[in-house]
Amino acid sequence: MNKRRHIGVPLLLLWISLISVGMASAQDSSPLQPFTAEYQLKRGNMIIGKVTTTLQLEPNGGYTYTSVTIPVGLVAAFNSDKITEVSRGLIKGDKVIPHNYSFHHKRKKRPKLRKLQFDWTTNRVTAPGTKPQWSSTVDPGTQDKASKILTMMLSMQPTTTDMEIQVIDKTKLKTYQIKQVQQEQLESAGKSFDTIKLNESKAGQPASNKFWLAPGLNYLPIKVERKEKKNTFTMTLTKFNTQVR
């Protein structure tokens, strides 16, 4: 790697492909450790939601990454939507191998449920529930929207300057280019963190997402910023529980 949606009224349909190993030896060689992190979600200066992400690791190398977004404050008085993203798969060394992914937008009108299943024996991904059922070949290393953040965290090293990650989003293959911009110190969750700022863009397009990862927390995102049309959405860490190596 060294080489080379809205919450408001209605609830944010984008959020988030973020955040969220092997046997003991695999865990020891990986910066990923189990964590629970809570984020405050803003649209502009208005607090509109809370995002809770968790990463669970199993002795056999399996992982479960979950992201749950709910409205808070004034938005919650008018909106009871809930977005849940779950990615399950296997981590081998510095490789994230997703097996299945689900996106569930629970709301009164037109709830959404999307799923992906990866078959790495044939290098195919399938979207159950689509009519006709969608299926496509994929290259090894392709991620779902949620496992992308785990790949980003695992790929970060002191010498990392940029990386490229292929992601299946709905039924489309997208290539994300991620470049290190600078180092910044951020205040979050009552603490001060040294962070690495990254810009993320789809191939050939201007950067639309920004990530601030904390090396001291195994590259856990401290802040995430996303631009959508005329709105800017910001996730900022407010609480965390992680095993730091």
CA–CA gap between residue 160 and residue 204 (Å, rounded) = 21
Question: Does position 14 have pLDDT exceeding 80, yes or no?
Answer: no
* 20-34 per-position pLDDT tens digit: 322 223 333 456 899
Task: For residue 74, give both structure tokens.
Answer: 């004034």
CA–CA gap between residue 151 and residue 144 (Å, rounded) = 10
CA–CA gap between residue 122 and residue 141 (Å, rounded) = 13
Mean pLDDT of the residues in the chain: 84
36 CB neighbour count, 10 Å cutoff: 15
Q: Does residue 150 contact residue 32 with C-beta atoms inside 8 Å? A: yes
The pLDDT of residue 73 is 79
Question: Does position 49 have pLDDT exceeding 60, yes or no?
Answer: yes
β-bridge mates for residue 124, sequence order = 119, 137
Q: Is 170 helix (H, G, I), strand (E, B) or coil?
A: coil
| Ordered alpha helix ranges (H), 81-190 | 147-155
Least confident of 7-11, 76-80, 204-208: 7-11
* 87-134 per-position pLDDT tens digit: 999 999 889 999 999 999 998 788 889 999 999 999 999 999 888 999
Percent of the chain, pLDDT > 90?
62
Q: Whole-model pTM?
A: 0.84
Q: Is 29 helix (H, G, I), strand (E, B) or coil?
A: coil
- Amino acid identity at 34: P
Q: Identify the CATH number of the domain defined by range 24-242.
A: 2.40.360
151: closest CA among 20, 4, 243, 56?
20
Question: Does position 13 have pLDDT exceeding 50, yes or no?
Answer: no
The pLDDT of residue 75 is 76
Question: Does position 62 have pLDDT exceeding 80, yes or no?
Answer: yes
Question: Does position 180 have pLDDT exceeding 80, yes or no?
Answer: yes
Q: How far apart are the first and last CA of the chain?
A: 22
The pLDDT of residue 157 is 75
- Phi–psi pair at 26, nearest 5 degrees: -70, -40
Task: Indicate the helix (H) or strand (E) that contains 41.
Answer: strand 35-43
Q: Is 27 helix (H, G, I), strand (E, B) or coil?
A: helix
The pLDDT of residue 3 is 40
